[in-house]
Amino acid sequence: MSNRLLIIDDEPEFGNFVERIAQDAGFDVRVTTRAEDFKDAFKQWMPTAIVLDLVIPETDGIELLRWLISENCQAPVVILSGFDARILDAARRVGRERGLNIACALMKPVRAGDLKERLTALCKAEPAALNLLDLERALRNGEMFIFYQPKVSLENGALVGTEALLRWLHPQRGVVPTDQIITLAENTPLAELIGEFVMRQALAQQKAWAREGMDLPVSVNVSAASLYDEKLADRIASLCAHEEVSPEKLIVEITESAAMSHAVEALDILTRLRIKGFPLSIDDFGTGFSSLTRLQRVPATEIKIDRSFVSEAPTSQAALAIVKSVIGLAKNMNLTCVAEGIESARHYRMLSELGCEAGQGYAIAKPLAGDKLGAWKNTWVPPYQKRRYGPRKIESAPEEKSQQSLA
């Protein structure tokens, strides 16, 4: 991604002077002289750094700093101004105390060499790590939303459910990897807030699909830490009751390593979820080194074969052996078996022939927005039909181009 510097200065000559230096320092540059143009460019062009003059017609620099704070600006800001040091210092403090990243405040006239040194450092700097404050703002500002990945029967290609997957579209950084969000929130009060957000969204979406004739279960991932939360089962049950979704329509997914931990508390919570009627899925199965004895103790209804085994199954004997034995294990224990990471027609056919009941993966559909599920379903053609038709090839999975980056 390029380094983009947005400048606002009411003197065009000065703006152009900064522009030349910034280009030398490695930035793509835009110069604005009016607050409105600056705001538009900030929103659309998403600069990675900002140079701001404190004197702007129709407004002033402090007001613009406040606006940047309200926009959750993460980009470092260089304040440049002809005012004296005390005013500059006050402006810097106003920004910093409210969480803006003020890189420095420089007094005009500024020496080209000094400015270049500062801008070069900004251009090279890695963006600061995301923190809990960013996460909290993201939740509040509606930057988080849910995509849903269809799950289909590998017997007949029918849509049998979806999995809710959290997405964060950061205004400056773009899509933040989901694993990163979960790790950041883990063991903090935000984990519960995020969990509740995902659950509410997924339940509301389930209800909306049911109204369109797709009354299918939605799977929600639950973090390992929440298995130590005694109120989890009650909270999920009351969210379901509130949304009027029956428990069998909400599959709780928990990773193998979390589900199989020795903790008695975890087993207690999983059992309570089952008693309340929620199906329980063991995610990423095969990666957690669990023993069969422990698997037998967990009251699961489904296991999902981890995509690392599925993707290697066509080329690795060892991976194939694991896939086959998980499918056998699931059958013997009366659990639904789901293959994750079906990335090609070959994977689809192989898992289908091995008797795996259901699958998810890019060859079926990438995760998509809830309101796109109906359209996907109408155009979905399975690459292989076990019973009715012979094998049939498709070129690639149907998917929305615009959604690829979020999937």
Residue number with the smallest Cβ distance to ligand C2E: 361
Does residue 367 belong to the site contacting ligand C2E (CB under 6 A)? Answer: yes
Structure tokens at 104: 């420095």
Q: How far is the CB of 80 from ligand C2E (least distance, A)?
A: 41
Contact of 159 with 151, CB cutoff 8 Å: yes
- Which residue is listed with tokens 């931990």? 261
Does residue 361 belong to the site contacting ligand C2E (CB under 6 A)? Answer: yes
**Closest Cα partner for 383 from 356, 355, 352?**
352
From CA 51, how far away is CA 19, in angstroms rounded?
10
Structure tokens at 357: 């009941």
From CA 407, how far away is CA 395, in angstroms rounded?
19
Nearer to ligand C2E, 9 or 163 (CB): 163
Nearer to ligand C2E, 100 or 232 (CB): 232
Stretch that binds ligand C2E, among 241-249, 285-293, 317-325, 337-345 (CB under 6 A): 337-345
Does residue 290 belong to the site contacting Mg ion (CB under 5 A)? Answer: no
Does residue 256 belong to the site contacting ligand C2E (CB under 6 A)? Answer: no
Stretch that binds ligand C2E, among 38-46, 77-85, 108-116, 361-369 (CB under 6 A): 361-369
Q: How many CA atoms lie within 13 A of 245 on its CB side?
A: 30
Question: How do beta strands 368-369 and 144-153 pair?
Answer: antiparallel
Q: How far is the CB of 151 from ligand C2E (least distance, A)?
A: 10
- Terminal CA-CA length for the chain: 19
Assign 339 to helix, strand or coil: strand
Restricting to residues 245-274, name those near Mg ion by CB under 5 A. 253
Restricting to residues 206-225, name those near Mg ion by CB under 5 A. 221
Does residue 283 belong to the site contacting Mg ion (CB under 5 A)? Answer: yes
Contact of 358 with 152, CB cutoff 8 Å: yes
Q: How far is the CB of 253 from ligand C2E (least distance, A)?
A: 6
**Closest Cα partner for 220 from 242, 194, 244?**
194
Q: How far is CA 3 from CA 102, 231, 265, 268, in A?
A: 17, 46, 49, 51
Does residue 178 belong to the site contacting ligand C2E (CB under 6 A)? Answer: yes
Does residue 149 belong to the site contacting ligand C2E (CB under 6 A)? Answer: yes
From CA 15, how far away is CA 31, in angstroms rounded?
6
Among 9, 19, 134, 284, binds Mg ion (CB under 5 A): 284
Contact of 50 with 5, CB cutoff 8 Å: yes
Q: Name the residue type at position 9.
A: D
Does residue 376 belong to the site contacting ligand C2E (CB under 6 A)? Answer: no
Does residue 217 belong to the site contacting ligand C2E (CB under 6 A)? Answer: no
What is the x/- site pattern for Mg ion, positions 148-187, by CB under 5 A?
Answer: ----------------------------------------
Nearer to Mg ion, 257 or 261 (CB): 257
Angle between helices 61-70 and 85-97 (to 10 degrees): 10
Among 76, 157, 288, 341, binds ligand C2E (CB under 6 A): 341
Give the binding site for ligand C2E (CB under 6 A).
149, 165-166, 178-179, 182, 198, 221-223, 253, 283-284, 307, 340-343, 360-362, 367
Give the binding site for Mg ion (CB under 5 A).
221, 253, 283-284, 340
